[in-house]
Amino acid sequence: MQNLIASFFETAPEACGPIYNERSLQLELGYYFRSHAAQVEFERPYIVTPLKGSTCHQKTNLDLLVRQNGRTTAIELKVPLNGRHPETLYDFCNDVAFVEGIVRSGFADEGICVLMTNDRAFWNDSGRGSDIHHIFRRKGSLLTGAVKKPTGAANTTVVVSGSYSPADKWRGVRDARLMKGAQYLIIEICP
């Protein structure tokens, strides 16, 4: 499934429209998956038990549940275009924990979290930023364990059970029809 998503960003179908927000990416990917003989469910509700120590608000709706070739993949998407860098990165960490919970509970064989944006502040290390920025900007940094909310009422934590290297995963969106100057990252979640 990861390769299929990457191929979408490499060469989107001719009929694909531009990506303006998370919903447009969700719909275009759903159509793309169906054109590759996959079954797709949108906004699939799930309740999963968070890991011990996780205090952030639990998600309940999965963006996409995809079945193809006897495998089920849980997919969460983010398309941040209006700043909110540390908050969005924290929300993405919560997406990872949510998809981990879906896979851990046996509702899916694997999971994928995708972040697509044309805002360079998400992947470009300017030398400024918080610990959460560094996880997504500095190569070799790991997303694992407890992640504290970086701003606002910073009194919540999300706990991620796996170990991921988001800064190493950024790739350019080659098809500018989707979004000019954009990059994406794919975090693959295995059981």
Q: pLDDT per residue over 169-188, tens digit each?
A: 999 999 889 999 999 999 99
Q: What is the mean pLDDT of the chain?
A: 93
On the question of pLDDT at 127 being above 80, the answer is no
Residue 184 buriedness (CB in 10 A; 0-12 / 13-18 / 19+)? buried
Domain boundary assignment for the chain: 2-189
Q: Are 99 and 113 in contact (CB under 8 A)?
A: yes
Confidence category of residue 129, pLDDT binned at 50, 70, 90: confident
Sign of the C-alpha dihedral computed for residues 36, 102, 173 and 164 taken in this order: negative
Residue 138 buriedness (CB in 10 A; 0-12 / 13-18 / 19+)? middle
pLDDT at position 191 is: 87
Confidence (pTM): 0.95
SS3 call for 28: helix
pLDDT at position 69 is: 94
Confidence category of residue 58, pLDDT binned at 50, 70, 90: confident
Confidence category of residue 143, pLDDT binned at 50, 70, 90: very high
On the question of pLDDT at 153 being above 80, the answer is no
Reported as a single tens digit per residue, the pLDDT across 72-124 is 999 999 999 887 889 999 999 999 999 999 999 999 999 999 999 999 999 99
